[in-house]
Amino acid sequence: MSELSTTTILSTSRSNSSVWCSCLIALALLAFTPGHAEAADDVLRKVAVADPYLEMHTGPGRGYPIFHVVDRGESVEIVLQRTDWYQVRAANGVEGWVDQAQMELTLKPDGSEVDFAQATLDDFTNAKWEAGILAGDFGGANIVSLYGGYSLNPHVSVEVWGSQILGNFSNGWMGSVNLVHETWPDWRFSPFFTLGAGVIHTSPKSTIIQGEDRTDQVGHVGAGLRVYATRRFLLRVEYKSYVVFTSRDENEEVREWKAGFAFFF
């Protein structure tokens, strides 16, 4: 039997329910797992509880249960910050996570209000790190991708991608390293261009078609849009055109589009 092309063995039907279900689960997990832990503005800064009580969660998200309450008038020390969540230490040594809305109701030792600055458009422009999840279509197959990026300067960044490809006739994965250029990084709607290279692996479903696992090199060019949403979150859409360098005489072209969201820090 002749070797099947990448686009053929990855082709799917019009039903996308399974991949979107997986994607929604991944998005929910990401939403309840804020990213990078940063030191607070002043390490172990002490604040006093001005509200009737301060609720401490076991983790940085509303999905984590409340396990301890600090009463009005008592002090807590700020240890770490993760987006809009703060890890604090009570006077008795108990540590937990408090959301920014409650932290804004605390007071400094001298009785003045505490200023907890939120991320702004400038932070979006100058952020060094970014991570996110996107989903879409890869040559007729469903694709779910995770990525992490580091900004060399406001215009140029390097990204590492990992993707799961789900098809009717086969499944596969792809890994790549991308270079991204933004012409107007200070815009809320910031267009970008990207190019990169990597590898793609496809595994035909033996119960459906005959074939062997394949690992090929890929290269791509593309364009997209990053949109500053709120706080430390952004929306991202992109289109890429891939060339799969096969062992046969002719290379293959695959088109991809994806959309999703990310957070920066």
Domain boundaries, given as residue ranges, for the chain = 6-33+123-264
Q: For residues 132 and 126, is the Cβ–Cβ distance under 8 A?
A: no
As a whole number of angstroms, the distance between CA 86 and CA 72 comes to 18
- Say what the pLDDT of residue 227 is: 94
> What number is the average pLDDT over the span 136-164?
95
- Say what the pLDDT of residue 85 is: 86
What share of the chain in percent tops pLDDT 70? 78
- Say what the pLDDT of residue 127 is: 84
As a whole number of angstroms, the distance between CA 216 and CA 246 comes to 6
- Say what the pLDDT of residue 136 is: 95
Q: Is 32 helix (H, G, I), strand (E, B) or coil?
A: coil
pLDDT digits (tens, 9 = 90+) for 194-227: 999 999 998 887 665 556 778 899 999 999 999 9
Provide the 8-state DSSP code for 139. T
pTM (2 decimals)? 0.63
- Say what the pLDDT of residue 153 is: 92
pLDDT band at 40 (very low <50, low <70, confident <90, very high): very low
The closest alpha carbon to 244, from 149, 139, 133, belongs to 139
- Say what the pLDDT of residue 180 is: 97
Name the range with the highest mean pLDDT among 21-25, 62-66, 208-212: 62-66
> What number is the average pLDDT over the span 120-147?
89
> What number is the average pLDDT over the span 43-47?
68
Say which range, 124-133, 186-195, 224-233, 242-251, has the weakest mean pLDDT: 242-251
pLDDT band at 13 (very low <50, low <70, confident <90, very high): very low
> What number is the average pLDDT over the span 75-93?
87
Q: Is 18 helix (H, G, I), strand (E, B) or coil?
A: helix
User: Tokens in use for 150?
Assistant: 């580091």
In 28-60, which positions are buried (b, 16+ CB within 10 angstroms) versus exposed (e)?
A: eebeeebbeeeebeeeebebbbeeeebebbebb
CATH architecture of the region 6-33+123-264: Beta Barrel (2.40)
pLDDT at 176 over 70: yes
- Say what the pLDDT of residue 6 is: 60
What share of the chain in percent tops pLDDT 90? 46
The closest alpha carbon to 72, from 29, 115, 107, 24, belongs to 107
pLDDT digits (tens, 9 = 90+) for 154-170: 899 999 999 999 877 77
- Say what the pLDDT of residue 2 is: 39
* Amino acid (one-letter) located at 68: H
Mean pLDDT of the chain: 82
- Who's near 114: CB < 8 A, 6+ residues apart? 47, 103, 104, 106, 107, 108
pLDDT band at 241 (very low <50, low <70, confident <90, very high): very high
Residue of 156 and 9 predicted with greater confidence: 156
